[in-house]
Structure 1
Amino acid sequence: MEPNDIGSYLDSFSHRDWQEADDGAGPIRFAMVGLGWWTQDEAMPAVENSTFCETTVVVSGSAEKAEKVANEHETIEAGLTYDQFQNGEASDAYDAVYVCTPNATHLEHVETAADQGKAILCEKPMEASVERSEAIVEAYSEADATAMIAYRMHTEPTIRRARELVRAGAIGKPVHVHGDMSQGIVGWGADQWRLDPELAGDGASVTDLGIYSINTTRFVLDRDPVAAQAMMHSDHEYFSEVPDEVAAFTVALEGDVYATCTASQNAQQGSHLRIVGTEGTILIEPAFHGESNLELVKGETSAVLDTPGVDQMEEEFDYFADCLLSGRDPEGTPEHGLVDMRTLAAVYESAERGERVEL
């Protein structure tokens, strides 16, 4: 691609290049499993504004909470406890299940949904360990269900355009990637399940934030990890149960591309993804917080991509529903998510052993 072709190439992308279903199709009815702040403040409003989805059932560990949330929304037909959900109550009222509970509890809800023959949208990371993630793959495969791990960056227009630019050779051969995602959670309250290894998994910063750099790099470059090397530490008392208040790690990907990433839950909020090639550079900043911006530099020419502002959760739900309505599998399958889980495990193992870990 010549430098003077950059602008016209960027302008050629459509907003929802993934959409196959007609706008009037659906709706896909969702049961929301887990009624924490992310579900109520992000997921449910996104579904309410979506093209193909609606929320018809909510599920919580608290009967009172489930009933309260159900009463606040006209489309919701039932508010269930986890036990009622597991027993199949109101199962005729939904087509798909969104699982947004602590990582170590995803498996049980995915197994319930799979047993009911429902489609499954499971938050990332898909579980707290590789072994339990493998059980998720087994459960949905045996049920022949459609399932997706909720990687919202897969439908972010800026990220999709970055992938197409790489595929078109806009930056030549990819050489290396720099990724960062950081935020400060100190003072958010003592009840932070992300700091509890029994609920979150091996750590906090890499598991919760670093996965964005890992998975988005995989998505943009169409390459999978082959090894990892890492350093991390925790000094603040808030992070006494996890090893990665601050973490830096390098993931080697297929084709001799290196992604060097940082993540911290005790830092100024920010994120970026820089993809460096033999002939150019793509910079996305912010990459994972808020509305993304993309700059492409090639030789002496640079172009800034002005993408439409979207609700990433709305796009994610509509993409999953579009896959169901059109009868195709999503890109972020549980098998895809399992690669990330094995990569996360390798990052933590490398930090503990002080050496490179092969995948």
Structure 2
Amino acid sequence: MSDTSLDVFTGADGRDWDTGPDGIVRMAVVGLGNYARKVSLPAIAESDYCVPSVVVSGTEQRRIETAREYDAVGVTYAEYADGTATDEYDAVYVATPNREHLPHVETAAEHGKAVVCEKPLEATADRARQAVEACENAGVTLMTAYRMQTDPLVRRLREFVREGGIGEPIRLFGNFSFDVLGGSKGPDQWRLDEHLAGGGALMDVGVYPLNTARFLLDADPVSVWGTTRTSGPFGDVDEHVDFGVEFPDAVGNFSASFSGHSNAELSMLGTDGQVALRDAFGVGADRTLVVETDDGTVELEGFGSDETVEEFDYFAHCLLTDSPPEPDGRDGLVDVETAMAVYRAAEQGSRVGID
């Protein structure tokens, strides 16, 4: 393998988008669940271009304690909807259960605030579309919180693939599995509520290999097929999902699970080689990339940036430079539409096309 083909990975922890703008974006964090408190808020506080200034929660003690920890203003959901403290924030991060994204995105749009919304964008395609249209009609930025699109190593991998590092992509394989019942919440959590979540493993973690594959290929699905399985503790949501995605020039086979051994991997086969990304989707994981071509095999280790910090800095950078984010609302909508098509395919036992 020539050294030139791997030059793209030099400095793979660096930012290829950062122009060093002046300014700070003050963020209102809507929803103070475990992920927001343990992952997102620390990342916002650590970032270069944004700071948490308002926190929104319906739980009084959590709201007060979090506001004190970050020297922020704490407000209730009703106060947020009514416009309380709008002078204290420039943009909104929505981190509530999936079906509650829409009203909070609409509120931000009504107040003229840009939004970064957790994935999936909503629990149904219709509601995701409403969120997108609300922001477009208000003329505010909507970014879907796909942190993998801002991970420096994943961005370098996309560049490598685009430059023909493995020839023409043919097939992709990906999986993301974790024990959702292994934490303190057990079965009493919104991820296992079909109404709030919109689905199970596919909606929560299956969107990671799906969206990352779309990002690497710069392509959208044209058809899907799939199957789901579940057992007692998981109620009506999918415990396991296996699904295929046909792209215009490649095919992806992906899976996701809410039980079993934790795993996160993504690989791509091309006409002239293949790449495999290990620990692909974990928060702040040290990722390993294996590149194989006829010239040999190279393993790149030790690449691990806090991609959540990257995500919020990227969002703030877009606002400060008046540039659109790549993982915008339409990007998030495509994944929700694709997930809904996978569920239809699993129910019908046949391939489903995507317009």
User: So what's the TM-score if we normalise by structure 1?
Assistant: 0.95
- Residue 307 of structure 1: CA displacement? 5.6
Q: Of 275, 297, 301, which residue of structure 2 is paired with 1:302? A: 297
Aligned to 2:278: 285
Q: How many residues align?
A: 350
Q: Of 215, 238, 249, which residue of structure 2 is paired with 1:219? A: 215
CA distance, structure 2, for counterparts of residue 187 and residue 318 of structure 1: 31
Aligned to 2:259: 266
1:21–1:326: 8 Å Cα contact kept in structure 2? Answer: no
Q: Greater shift after overlay, 295-304 or 175-184?
A: 295-304
What amino acid sits opposite 2:133 in the alignment?
Answer: E
1:3–1:301: 8 Å Cα contact kept in structure 2? Answer: no
Aligned to 1:253: 247
CA distance, structure 1, for counterparts of residue 182 and residue 137 of structure 2: 43
Aligned to 1:45: 42
Q: Of 181, 184, 189, which residue of structure 2 is paired with 1:186? A: 181
Aligned to 1:128: 123
CA distance, structure 2, for counterparts of residue 179 and residue 187 of structure 1: 22
Q: Percent identity at matched positions?
A: 41
What amino acid sits opposite 1:288 in the alignment?
Answer: F
5+ unaligned residues in a row in structure 2: which ranges?
A: none
Alignment RMSD, CA only?
Answer: 1.3
2:13–2:153: 8 Å Cα contact kept in structure 1? Answer: no
Cα 1:282–1:69 shift into 2, 3 Å: same
Tell me, what secondary structure is at the counterpart of 2:226?
strand
Deviations 1:116-146 (A, max 9, x none): 0001000000000000011001100110001
Q: Superposition pairs for residues 228-243 of structure 1, below 5 Å? A: 228-235=224-231, 237-242=232-237
2:225–2:345: 8 Å Cα contact kept in structure 1? Answer: yes
- Residue 4 of structure 1: CA displacement? 4.3
- Residue 9 of structure 1: CA displacement? 3.9
Q: Superposition pairs for residues 26-41 of structure 1, below 5 Å? A: 26-41=23-38
Tell me, what secondary structure is at the counterpart of 2:325?
coil
Aligned to 1:195: 192
1:158–1:293: 8 Å Cα contact kept in structure 2? Answer: no
1:47–1:55: 8 Å Cα contact kept in structure 2? Answer: yes
CA distance, structure 1, for counterparts of residue 7 and residue 306 of structure 2: 25
CA distance, structure 2, for counterparts of residue 72 and residue 208 of structure 1: 28
- Residue 69 of structure 1: CA displacement? 1.3
Tell me, what secondary structure is at the counterpart of 1:134?
helix
Q: Superposition pairs for residues 144-155 of structure 1, below 5 Å? A: 144-155=139-150
Aligned to 1:174: 169
What amino acid sits opposite 1:61 in the alignment?
Answer: G
Q: Greater shift after overlay, 29-38 or 296-305?
A: 296-305
2:181–2:187: 8 Å Cα contact kept in structure 1? Answer: no
Tell me, what secondary structure is at the counterpart of 1:225?
coil
CA distance, structure 1, for counterparts of residue 146 and residue 181 of structure 2: 25
What amino acid sits opposite 1:57 in the alignment?
Answer: V
- Residue 294 of structure 1: CA displacement? 1.0
CA distance, structure 1, for counterparts of residue 128 and residue 92 of structure 2: 17
CA distance, structure 2, for counterparts of residue 112 and residue 179 of structure 1: 36
User: So what's the TM-score if we normalise by structure 2?
Assistant: 0.96
What amino acid sits opposite 1:116 in the alignment?
Answer: H
Aligned to 2:57: 60
Q: Superposition pairs for residues 71-110 of structure 1, below 5 Å? A: 71-74=68-71, 76=72, 78-110=73-105
Deviations 1:87-131 (A, max 9, x none): 000100000000000000000000000000001000000000000
Aligned to 2:5: 6
2:224–2:246: 8 Å Cα contact kept in structure 1? Answer: yes
Q: Greater shift after overlay, 175-184 or 12-21?
A: 12-21
Aligned to 1:275: 268
- Residue 32 of structure 1: CA displacement? 0.4
Q: Superposition pairs for residues 308-323 of structure 1, below 5 Å? A: 308-323=303-318
CA distance, structure 2, for counterparts of residue 197 and residue 302 of structure 1: 44
Tell me, what secondary structure is at the counterpart of 1:268?
coil
